[in-house]
Amino acid sequence: MPWNSLMDQMMKELHSKGTRIEDIAAVLKRSPIHPRIVEAIKSAHALGCDLKNVSDANTFFIETILEHHGLKECFLEINTNPGFVDQQGRLRIFPHHDFTKSSHGCQHPSCLPNMCKGIRIERIQASLSMEDPKKTKIYLGDGLGDFCPSLKLGDGDYVMPRKDVPVWDLICKNRSLIKAQICEWSNGEEFKTVLLHLISRIISVEGNNTSANIDQLYSVDCKLETMSLPSATGPETFPQSLHVLH
């Protein structure tokens, strides 16, 4: 069962035991994000970069976390699985692509049935080509699903994979397939240093306004482990977001 379908079932069970949406939001707000990553996103936004999010999490998780850290307004787009609170107060999570009706068309083994990030990136690229074909793209990610979109980047683009995680292993084994320049990072400090260095380089080389030339694509997947969550019937097991901005 895909992660988002499993999470929808988990939300149903939590709701049946009295867990409120406010309790879920409180746990999400405790999700760890390295302060340098927060600083890097705010700096990139302040420099005029167009930030877009592509994620296998869901809108409720992402928007709750970003808003808590003052980052929501930094992003122009959030491309992810729909997540909303229904009339009964239960969080519902649905797949970005309804794989029960048809395939999204990508056959790459690293892509999930409910979302191919590569297809989303191609659509973003098509939109950008109409606005400004010279715009440089920086893609950041560390999940298996981030390999396919990395293949879609061009010679003048950059991919920022996190080292020693699934997507890094795939990239190392298939470097010849990646046209973009690879700029790896290992932690929040390196994330900020590498990202802002790339932005500075692009500004220096192109000598133009950044908002017209840099498009940053973030993969933000909130994967979950256990965390105690208060409910009407006592402590329940609820996931803690482990991977943010990958």
Cβ neighbours of residue 168 closer than 8 Å, sequence gap 6 or more: 142, 161, 162, 184
Quote the CA–CA distance of 241 and 33 in Å, as a whole number. Answer: 9
Do 180 and 187 meet the contact criterion of CB atoms below 8 Å apart? no
Quote the CA–CA distance of 1 and 74 in Å, as a whole number. Answer: 33
Task: Kindly provide the residue ranges of all beta strands, DSSP E only, lying in the chain, ordered along the sequence.
Answer: 50-58, 75-81, 83-85, 91-93, 136-141, 158-161, 181-182, 214-219, 224-229, 236-241
Tell me if residue 159 falls in helix, strand or coil. strand
| 142 is known to lie in a ligand binding site | yes
User: Residues comprising the binding site for Mg(2+)?
Assistant: 142
User: Residues comprising the binding site?
Assistant: 142
